[in-house]
Amino acid sequence: MPAQAKTPMRATMLTTLATIAPVFLMIAAGYAARRLGIMPEGSGALLTRFVTWIALPVLMFHIAATTDWRAVWDNEFVLVSLLGSVILYIIGLGIGRLRGLPIADIAVDGLNASYSNAAYLGLPLFLLAIGPMSAPYVIVAASLTLMSLFALAVGTIELGHHRSQGVLHALAKAGAGVIKNPVLALSLAGVAWWLTGVKLPDVAERFTHLLGGAASPAALVAIGLFLAERPLAEAVGNRFVLALTGAKLVAHPLITALMAYGLLGMRGLPAFMAVAIAALPTGTGPFMVAGFYARDGKVTSGTILMTTLISVVTLSILLASLPR
């Protein structure tokens, strides 16, 4: 490879590593705190409960209520991002089924394969690597995809819980579960507030921004606490973790690229951002859902760790090679 081609790749890899490093450090902080006895047994579950019932719902309300949706909306980008995520969700369900899991558990694997860490990792990474023009695409993908995938997962879990009582009853319970889920309920409340055209009061804006900002860091620390109570090698060496990692880092961007560049003929920044966001590692959302519904988080925590680690290389290659 010529010397001039090596420099961008090297710079991109350093940028990616610098952005991803805090994710590892927060997981490591939780791991060390539990191993050193600073945090007691079961503290990961309590911290996850704080995230799923308080911090994440508040964050979603803040994003939905304060984003200028008209300014950031791009129909083709939204279609490709949403379809790509839904396809990977279905692939994740298939991997969960291969594990022999019940429906309520395979929903978490659906998220493991499809849920990109757009808000916490993608936003700062693409701001550094691409510039401020990337921010609207990340905001739309993080908000819309998160709400859609959470609705799919919650609906799948509720269907699994109630399917023995008949299809109609199960569908009714699934719909009620989606509406009553705190993340989705406050997301819809935020959209409703935005539709009024009234600016969020300064006190409410600062409150929701500060409290919502705790969601991802707290979830990452909770993952470290969780891993400290289980053999780390068991979590990251699991063959299903490897399958979900391949689905997230390879299949997700590949399928999104085929739809964007091939089917829709998209070009330029919208197509580039759709593929780049799909290539992000698994975010903390699946871990939060697993904690909320008391599902096993071993494979989920391993997938988040593995995809984040390997994405240093895959994202660097992608960012250096994709046409802009």
Q: What pLDDT does 42 receive? A: 83
Report the pLDDT averaged over residues 206-225.
Answer: 87
Q: What pLDDT does 4 receive? A: 43
Report the pLDDT averaged over residues 313-321.
Answer: 82
Q: What pLDDT does 68 receive? A: 83
Least confident of 124-128, 190-194, 207-211, 242-246: 124-128
- pLDDT, one tens digit per residue, over 2-43 is 444 445 666 667 777 777 778 778 888 998 999 999 999 888
Report the pLDDT averaged over residues 160-165.
Answer: 61
Q: What domains are defined for the chain?
A: 30-321 (1.20.1530.20)
Q: What pLDDT does 170 receive? A: 55
Q: What pLDDT does 246 receive? A: 96
Task: Tell me the pLDDT band of 199, cut-offs 50, 70 and 90.
Answer: very high
Report the pLDDT averaged over residues 281-296.
Answer: 75
Strand partners, 282: 116
- Mean pLDDT score across all residues of the chain: 82
Report the pLDDT averaged over residues 193-201.
Answer: 93
Tokens coding 3: 């010397």
Q: CA torsion, points 123, 129, 134, 139, in degrees to nearest 10?
A: -10
CA distance 159 to 291: 18
Higher pLDDT pick, 39 / 290? 39
What is the percentage of the chain residues whose pLDDT exceeds 70? Answer: 84
Highest mean pLDDT out of 65-74, 152-161, 246-255, 280-289:
246-255
Amino acid at 170: A
**Is residue 295 over pLDDT 70?**
no
Q: Which residues contact 99 (CB under 8 A, 6 or more apart)?
A: 105, 106, 109, 240, 299
Tokens coding 6: 């090596």
